[in-house]
Structure 1
């Protein structure tokens, strides 16, 4: 599992698949929350590939974000 965080856009991505080839995600299910939204990425077989969190600083625990790989630096 790999977690990345981009503070510039306040978004985090939690990758649940070891390698996700471009185009593998074919279904995105968005769930709105008070602080932002969560997008679940699925492949054609229904396997959950990853979770994108928009409004990450309002939705995720600060310690979790601090441990994530920063991609905005």
Structure 2
């Protein structure tokens, strides 16, 4: 897919991509300039909500400290 940059530096995101990524007015997009390529990453409406549950199943700080103490005792 190709689009043009307007005289004001704006681009149009093709409808198929907007729908696939639920992009609408005021959606935020991160731009990454990666050596000859531009990468666009849709950002969640609520970044805190998007992270909810991301660390589920990982050890708590207390558990990590207990584990480290056990390792230290066995050395």
TM (normalized to structure 1)?
Answer: 0.31
Higher relative contact order (CA 8 A, sep 6+): 1
Higher helix share: 2
Higher strand share: 1
